[in-house]
Amino acid sequence: MISTAPSNVWVVWLSLGLALLLSVTSMPAFMEVGRPLWLALFLAYWVLNVPHRVGMATAWCVGLLADVLNGSLLGQNALILTLISFLVLTLHQRLRMFPMWQQCVVLLVIFGLAQLVQLWLNALTGNRPPTLLFILPALVSALLWPWVCALLRAVHLRLRVN
């Protein structure tokens, strides 16, 4: 018999919308350099926990929304979020078994690669000169992973997202 339990997918989209809002909120100038990758964090959580609902197509769509919202090159954020989604999906089974500190290290590498691609795309378009500060958002995001994971897990379990 097929289960007709509600899947509550709207929670995923609502959280990704919140991540979009967090990614464009204003911050003090000294904190702007280390702005967390909110979309990448939220997307990594949902890809890790409900991979049958959230995947690379979702990452591409949310990335296009981020491109429009930020006014950046169309497809730039979509490419980066799709890369993050692909890497998390590839490491999905292993990553779920890792303790939290190892998840942070793996996500630091994934987010660092994504930031490297972003830096490369910005250098190709002439928007920003290459600097070593591009890794700071990846580091901040990896440090925020345990708290984002705990918050989204509470929402995930409370609202029974499947």
Look at residue 114 and tell me if it is in a domain.
yes
Look at residue 3 and tell me if it is in a domain.
no
Look at residue 5 and tell me if it is in a domain.
no
Look at residue 121 and tell me if it is in a domain.
yes
Q: What pLDDT was estimated at residue 131?
A: 76
CB neighbour list of residue 64: distance below 8 Å, 6 or more residues apart: 74, 75, 77, 78
Q: What pLDDT was estimated at residue 133?
A: 84
Look at residue 84 and tell me if it is in a domain.
yes
Q: How many structural domains comprise the chain?
A: 1
What is the domain extent for residue 90? 38-158
Question: Whole-model pTM above 0.95?
Answer: no
Q: What pLDDT was estimated at residue 129?
A: 67
DSSP summary character for residue 36: -
How far is CA 77 from each of CA 46, 68, 94, 140, rounded to the nearest angstrom? 18, 10, 26, 18
Q: Report whether 36 contacts 52 (CB < 8 A).
A: no
Sign of CA dihedral 156, 98, 22, 126: negative
Q: What pLDDT was estimated at residue 1?
A: 47
Q: What pLDDT was estimated at residue 126?
A: 83
How many angstroms separate the CA atoms of 107 and 62, rounded? 19
Residue ranges of the chain with pLDDT lower than 70?
1-6, 129-130
